[in-house]
Chains A and B, each alone.
Chain A
């Protein structure tokens, strides 16, 4: 298929490449402290897009064990036991199996959203970081009447 119209993971990785380059360039070229903060936000966004793209294209489903009495959605893809490998990381590892009823458990293939969850945490951390950074900038502005980062040199070693 034509790689221009058949969007795959490389397209999104390329996009976040451009984004992270813009972010680094912004961090390095701005003398305004808020400009540097904006650059950091760009880099974090690039990381988030990468996480979601890899989630969708490289790890979009996983097999989990659910207790036998749990009602599944009609379209749930039930996987016969033994047709896949159990790994320690997967929620269907034997210890988990014992908790949910051992041999009578059923296996279901369902969407894996680990990358998206990680991206939510990235967004939360970015918001927290922006709040703290602006508090610091306000303090700095009160002391120096400017937010030029070149004047923040009192801690020179």
Chain B
């Protein structure tokens, strides 16, 4: 199961790097997000997997597809990066991956701890309690942020009177 989701996530993520067509990139992003949601299921974060599918796959991706449709004036004019830039970009991406890999190999996680949440608890309920107690201020800040973003985005994308 883990390897199936991992292969889905990684293959479609690197397919985004390779593909030149923006619509294909959006489809591969959908597959990557679905794979990440599967990862959250593997990590026993069911609520998070559901939120990932609803907010990301259902919201952010639709937004991106709308952006593609509204800005692709000439569908035949593909924006191709120069070969040298692609080479350099992929090289830097792989270099950062290698650097982080080195950091991971050199760090000691207490891997002997079994990754088991205590049984008998309603974890979704704990989320609700956390948002209204420990995480009350970040929760309210996120609410205000979303309001500001909604107003700001509508203001910036409005049609200007000529």
Residues of A participating in the B interface, judged by any CB pair closer than 8 Å = 7-15, 17-32, 34-35, 37-39, 41-42, 45, 48-49, 52-53, 55-58, 60-61, 73-77, 91, 109-111, 113, 116-117, 119-121, 123-128, 130-132, 134-139, 141-142, 145-148
Contact = CB atoms under 8 A, between A and B. Distances in A.
Contact of A15 (B6, B56, B119, B160): B6
A8 B154 CA distance: 44
A130 B121 contact: no
A134 B22 contact: no
A19 B153 contact: no
A105 B54 CA distance: 40
Interface string B95-123: 01100110010000111010111111101
A29 B85 contact: yes
A26 B88 contact: no
Nearest to B44: A56
Interface of A is mostly: helix
A69 B123 CA distance: 22
B39 A17 contact: no
B79 A45 contact: no
A42 B131 CA distance: 26
Interface string B70-92: 11010000011100011011101
A33 B78 CA distance: 12
20 contacts: A9-B109, A9-B111, A15-B39, A18-B97, A19-B9, A21-B94, A21-B97, A25-B17, A29-B90, A41-B56, A41-B60, A52-B39, A57-B109, A60-B117, A76-B120, A111-B118, A117-B130, A128-B145, A141-B70, A147-B79
Contact of A56 (B43, B51, B101): B43
Interface of B: 2, 6, 9-10, 13-14, 16-17, 22, 25-26, 29, 32-33, 36, 39-40, 42-45, 47-48, 51-52, 55-56, 59-60, 63-64, 66-68, 70-71, 73, 79-81, 85-86, 88-90, 92-94, 96-97, 100-101, 104, 109-111, 113, 115-121, 123, 126-127, 130-131, 134-135, 138, 142, 145-146, 149-150, 152-154, 156-157, 160
A11 B113 contact: no
B150 to A, nearest CB: 7
Ranked nearest first, the 10 interchain pairs of A and B with the lowest CB-CB distance are: A75-B120, A25-B93, A28-B89, A21-B97, A29-B89, A22-B13, A57-B115, A135-B156, A135-B153, A135-B157
Contacts of A20: 96-97, 100
B36 A31 contact: no
Contacts of A109: 118
